[in-house]
Structure 1
Amino acid sequence: MSKRKITILAVLLLVSFGPYYIYQNIIYKDARDINNEKSILTISAHNLENQYAQNSSQADSKYLNKTIEIEGIVTEVTDSSMVIDGKVFCKMNQTVKKNFTDKPINIKGRCIGFDDLFEIVKLDQCSIQQH
């Protein structure tokens, strides 16, 4: 093969597979599996909410988008969420049974910030660690 044909073939391969490579390795990334990640700390729901209430930006730098464990008493349960100590809202990975109300619990999840309107810390991708 001549150098010209090799160059044309290389350019065609680059044009054909370049966008696929960019999509797979740069744009599309696998979602985090919070359930299998190690949490950075375990904190009570009351202490976490206090830190956010005192200084939201400082608490964000410590907890935002990090895997943490929350300890407290379940105050509210729906089929897909729990509220711990009336301070932390947890969006669960799986359906939750109603029999957790008023019981101590430890939940692991990803902190997604503080809701100023409802004055509550929010976590998503939560799973029950112990109850």
Structure 2
Amino acid sequence: MSTKRKITILVVLLAISFGPYYIYQNIIYKDARDINKEKSILTISAKNLESQYAGNSSQADSKYLNKTIEIVGTATEVTDSSMVIDGKVFCKMNEIVKTNYTNKQINIKGRCIGYDDLFGVVKLDQCSIQQH
């Protein structure tokens, strides 16, 4: 068997072995979005965002769903992993909240995941504190 033929066979075997892995890693399974590094499309008050969702949730979804936004308001409830702003927006935090922000003005960036009709709040995930 010639050297050229051996190299060709080796290249084909490598493509067969690593091709599916490459396709899976780079095409099928893409890395999750890093909301903290994304630029927000707008800054809006928690009360204004919630009122838009309460008024017409499908219209609000078309504007905000799965988008990176910043919420401004007063932290009304704070746990180590979540925060509620003005009683209207629930924020699932990226990191443990170490400082007590209750009753303080805050700016939170996160991804809007929709309106919770049961609790009457807009939900955001992957949230981070922008300023305090």
Normalising by structure 2, what TM-score? 0.89
* 2:120 maps to 1:115: no
Shift of 1:64: 0.9
Q: Which residue of 2 aligns with 1:68?
A: 69
Q: Which residue of 2 aligns with 1:103?
A: 104
Unaligned residue ranges in structure 1 (runs of 5+)? none
Distance in 2 between the 1:4 and 1:58 partners? 62
Q: Could you list the runs of 4 or more consecutive aligned residues of structure 1 that deviate by over 3 angstroms after TM superposition?
A: 1-11
Shift of 1:13: 3.2
Is 1:35–1:126's contact at 8 Å kept on the other side of the alignment?
Answer: yes
Identity among equivalent pairs (%): 84
Distance 1:41 1:12, change over 3 A: same
Unaligned residue ranges in structure 2 (runs of 5+)? none
Distance in 1 between the 2:7 and 2:81 partners? 57
Amino acid at match of 1:102: N
Normalising by structure 1, what TM-score? 0.89
Distance in 2 between the 1:44 and 1:129 partners? 14
Amino acid at match of 2:126: Q
Aligned residues: 131
Is 1:78–1:98's contact at 8 Å kept on the other side of the alignment?
Answer: no
Amino acid at match of 1:31: A
Q: CA RMSD in A?
A: 1.8
